[in-house]
Amino acid sequence: MQAVIIAIGDELIGGASVDTNSAYLSAHLAERGIVAVRHVTVGDDAGRITEAITRAAEEAELVVITGGLGPTRDDLTRQALADAMGVELLEDARSAERIAAFFARIGRTMKPSNLTQAMIPAGAEVLDNDCGTAPGIAARLGQADVFALPGPPNEMTEMFERQVAPRLPDAGASARRILHAFGTGESDIGEKIADLMARDANPKVGTTAKGGIISIRIVADGETTGQAERLAEKTADEIRRRLGELIFGAGDQTLPSVVGKALKAGGLTLATAESCTGGMIGRMMTETPGASEYFLGGLVAYANSAKTAMLNVPAETIETHGAVSERSADAMARGAREKFGSDFALGVTGIAGPTGGSDEKPVGLVYIALTGAGGTKVHRHIFGGDRNIVRRRAALAAINHLRLALTHK
């Protein structure tokens, strides 16, 4: 089965918002063996939306539309779908009641414009929205089943999972794996698994780079679900074998969550001392619920005076070697471990840019110190990219050094 995904909104065309809905839908349709053959982005123009829906229904058996179901004058998906179907819009009484009840529940006065969300193409079916006011729409157009879903990602995902996914056929036995790697570039990983990424291979293997994390997608087809699962797992095992410690997790695991799980399993604790990363390591480590069991706390010692006062970094160390140096990173990590009484501590200092660099210490230079009962090790990195990229990669690299240390413990 083939699908076309249509995202509606001037904000997507103009770059003010990023279309995450289409990526989500493609991934979840692929899990059911449904291939998205096209992603279409259309601005808030009824004629163009109608044209996109009509064309999509001619080339695919499934059309999923997101956005354009709000209460304002630029929300045109309802009318465009009705035009494509050649029918009129009719008010759905039950939807109108649900919208009014929603506003009553949150204690706000409903504007008359909100009732436009209860207008549904004649012959279509309403999909209830339990997270917002805009109901979705299910309809049939030619050979295609058409689903129009709200644009806000939380509303879209809830409606898709509860009301659309159960209606979709399994178009074939397939299995999916996602592995995550850190510590090298996408091209390096591509070279190591190049033969597995052949276009006509089964399973299909592809890579995606985002924020320094390389994700490897594996989609296997088989005559049965069991066969597809075995193919996917066999390929995942081979990729793990080739990439070794570069692989840190799978599925929805993140680098901080993997490290947090390892710390918790070992009954170990972590503290941080951050300069150039500005608390980013602490933020990443506390995104996982229950992080207080292993993350004791952190200090952002940005100024040299703070490094000395808060972390006991000797003033002469900074004067002699500089705040961005192996010695200063070492002293920061040791100071944090002593202050918090943790098993491990990370100390990070660097030049995030865009200014402050020199020939000896260029922009992107970062020292990361990891200290524990076995001593301290300092790692020197030079990260490319702008200030935000340098800071993010430095934070992830610090967490990854801890991961590797826990692996070898």
pTM of the model: 0.74
Residues 351-396 pLDDT 10s: 999 999 999 999 999 999 999 999 999 999 999 999 999 999 999 9
CA distance 310 to 239: 44
Task: Report how far residue 10's alpha carbon sits from residue 8's, in angstroms, rounded to the nearest whole number.
Answer: 7
Measure the CA–CA gap between 344 and 269, rounded to whole angstroms: 6
- As a 3-state breakdown, the chain gives helix, strand, coil percent values, each rounded to 5, of 45, 25, 30
Angle subtended by helix axes 304-311 and 326-340, to nearest 10: 40
pLDDT at 34: 87
Rounded to whole angstroms, the Cα distance separating 246 from 137 reads 44
Which structural domain range is residue 240 located in? Answer: 173-250
- Among the candidates 194, 225, 250, a domain finishes at 250
Assign residue 268 the CATH number of its domain.
Answer: 3.90.950.20
Give mean pLDDT, residues 137-161: 96
Q: What's the pLDDT score for residue 114?
A: 87
Check whether residue 310 and residue 193 sit in a common domain: no
Alpha helix ranges (H) inside 134-245: 153-159, 186-192, 225-243
CATH number of domain containing 234: 3.30.70.2860
The reported pLDDT for the residue numbered 171 is 61
**Cβ–Cβ contacts within 10 Å for residue 297, how many?**
15
Do both 103 and 223 map to the same domain? no
Last residue of a domain, one of 250, 273, 291: 250
Q: What is the DSSP letter of 128?
A: -
CA gap 134, 357 in Å, rounded: 52
Let me know whether 117 and 16 are in one domain: yes
Indicate if 158 and 188 belong to the same structural domain.
Answer: no
CATH label of the domain that carries residue 58: 3.40.980.10
Cβ(399)–Cβ(284) under 8 Å? yes
pLDDT at 313 over 90: yes
The structural domain count of the chain equals 3
Contact (CB, 8 A) for 365 and 329 = no
- For residues 40 and 188, membership in a common domain is answered with no
- 82 and 151 belong to one structural domain: yes
* Residues 29 and 163 grouped into a single domain: yes
Q: Are residues 102 and 181 in the same domain?
A: no
Phi then psi for 207, rounded to 5 degrees? -125, 155
Same domain, yes or no: 6 and 147 = yes
Q: Are residues 271 and 346 in the same domain?
A: yes
- Boundary (domain end) residue, out of 215, 250, 285: 250
Domain match, 238 and 296 both: no
Mean pLDDT of the chain: 94
For 158-211, the pLDDT digits (tens) are: 999 999 999 997 666 778 899 999 999 999 999 999 999 998 899 989 998 888
pLDDT for the residue numbered 200 = 84
Residues 272 and 339 in one domain: yes
